[in-house]
Structure 1
């Protein structure tokens, strides 16, 4: 084959890749629309980033195409409704690779047997190659997770199918615990999952869901108990999220330096995990390492500019470095994004405390307490400002 033939082959395949990628994602989207009552979103050219994209909406289906067509060789399909049966979940996942396989097989047949036109044969063969590549790439289970734009991680179709097939062999209590979790009845889901673990049903995803259940309701001792057992059994399979959870537990139990180590391990596995960046920055704040904290917050905000917690915490770092005006601006911006953030009012209280306006400091600490009395170190700040007011008389 001559050199220019190679160029034509590569160029044609590059043009057709977005087309077969879109059909693959539609293979997921159509059954998702049929099996659920909520919205379904397709992203072409990103793993969940709607910015700098062409947007189309057809009923409950929303589609985003990145402006840059060079990115269109990969995509993502997301359904809003989570609480569906395992069998329906299997069908939704399976239909992506199956759609690619059907299209690839059909075009291969046309290319080999169904056309006397060299042009049609060439194009159908290119579609066949691209579709079969999609099928192969997505069907082979890959334990390495894909990091989405929001920092969360998912697996490819093959790995998701493997996990869902494993779920089918679980006791009925698992489905009930997932139902509790999806309905935000985290105490019930945690207790049910804990009983399953104690009775011998010990899968990594059961541990993870149990830990997450207890973290949602700030039951850090219970989360720690299950998490320690999980780490012993699955130490070599820990993900970025697992290290994040371990760091979160340690920080709330007062082990700040230990939490920094875990957040760092999390970021080694996923450098764009905005939650680990924010929490490590927060731990740096608690350790007085404000310059290092700002670096983490800057990166988190660059990845997700609407991340209120990172803005709020960066504001605190700046205040502690004496940059009161810039710090106050960051904290105000975070309030615009999340008006019910107790940490906003606590950090604002710290701002007023450090600028010696103790009455306003106490006022903001009390607002934070009303929003969430368990806000980390809030009671210590309230006691500290009360002592200062009593001393001043």
Structure 2
């Protein structure tokens, strides 16, 4: 078995992949809007419900969620504003509006909404998870960890809490804890590719190449449109000295995301 010439290169590339993973979205945030059966397909029926009962805040909350999932953020924001006006203590609507504010780049407004949701209901796990992810992206790692930890202490069944806490453990080099969290996330969301990528990187950091390769391959089977999965698989091929397969996998990753540095840099190392 052929490996790279030195551990420094392995550590450098692996560090880059982990940093990219930590900076990427763990789980689709808009799809996690707290509502029942919200989708773009039922906007018309939800609008009919609102026209029959324009004072129903729940109807606006659900339609706002459907708009959010469809990328119609301004319309979603308007519906959440109306829901909150009709019911000022509607903590779910504050948390949902925070997601839209985040998507619009209004980070301060998003934080204010998460804080309000938590003030109204200190046991609302979704608000802690959302705020934690906001903190994590802002580099406030300890604040993010505390929020994910709080959600977990509240017995959340949301895989994002475990996945995101796992990313923080991973960033801190605590890979055994990270693997536990990624495994829990997988048990809660077995069809999600992201936790497999996270766990695979921690396996790789612990020199468990076989389990890492299994996880990266599973991530691709679950969703073959994620650049990170292909770059991770390519890294294993590269470690094993199979530059041809590594180049193909890096090429696929770069095709999916031309701005993903681990893919473009890996392709430059292995092609030809």
2:100 is matched with 213
User: For the Cα contact (< 8 Å) 1:86–1:168, is it kept in 2?
Assistant: no
2:46 equivalent among 69, 79, 85: 85
Contact 1:247–1:260 (CA under 8 A) maintained in structure 2: yes
Structure 1 spans left out of the alignment, 5+ residues: 1-77, 90-164
Alignment of 1:42-57 (within 5 A): none
- Name structure 2 gaps, 5 residues minimum: 1-35
Between structures 1 and 2, the one with greater strand share: 1
* CA gap 1:373/1:266 in 2 versus in 1, 3 angstroms: farther
- Per-residue CA deviations over 1:31-88 (Å, capped at 9, x if unaligned) read xxxxxxxxxxxxxxxxxxxxxxxxxxxxxxxxxxxxxxxxxxxxxxx86875443886
Larger Rg: 1
Matching residue of 1:336:
221
Q: Does 1:181 align with 2:59?
A: no
Shift of 1:304: 3.7
Assess, with a 3 A threshold, how the Cα gap between structure 1 residues 299 and 234 changes in structure 2: closer, same or farther. closer
Aligned partner of 2:112 in structure 1 is 229
Contact 2:111–2:134 (CA<8 Å) still a contact in 1?
no
Give the Cα separation in 2 of the matches to 1:340 and 1:243: 29
Q: 2: CA distance between counterparts of 1:271 and 1:305?
A: 16
The question of whether the paired residues in 2 share the 8 Å contact of 1:247 and 1:263 is answered with: yes
The residue aligned with 2:55 is 168
Deviations 1:72-114 (A, max 9, x none): xxxxxx868754438869xxxxxxxxxxxxxxxxxxxxxxxxx
Give the helix-richer structure, 1 or 2: 2
- 2:97 and 2:253 map into 1 onto residues whose CA distance is 28
Q: 1:348 aligns with which of 200, 211, 233?
A: 233
> SS of the residue aligned with 1:85?
helix
Tell me by how many angstroms 1:186 deviates.
Answer: 3.5
Aligned-partner Cα distance in 1 for 2:38–2:116: 33
SS in 1 for 2:78: helix
Shift of 1:263: 1.1
Change in 2 beyond 3 A, CA 1:289/1:357: farther
SS of the residue corresponding to residue 190 of structure 2 reads coil
Q: 1:281 to 1:350 in 2, by over 3 A?
A: farther
How many residues are matched? 228
| CA RMSD, 1 decimal | 4.2
Is 1:204 paired with 2:91?
Answer: yes
CA distance in 2, matches of 1:258, 1:275: 16
* Cα distance change of structure 1 residues 240 and 86 upon mapping to structure 2, 3 Å threshold: farther
Alpha-carbon spacing, 1:383–1:332, altered in 2? closer, same or farther (3 Å): closer
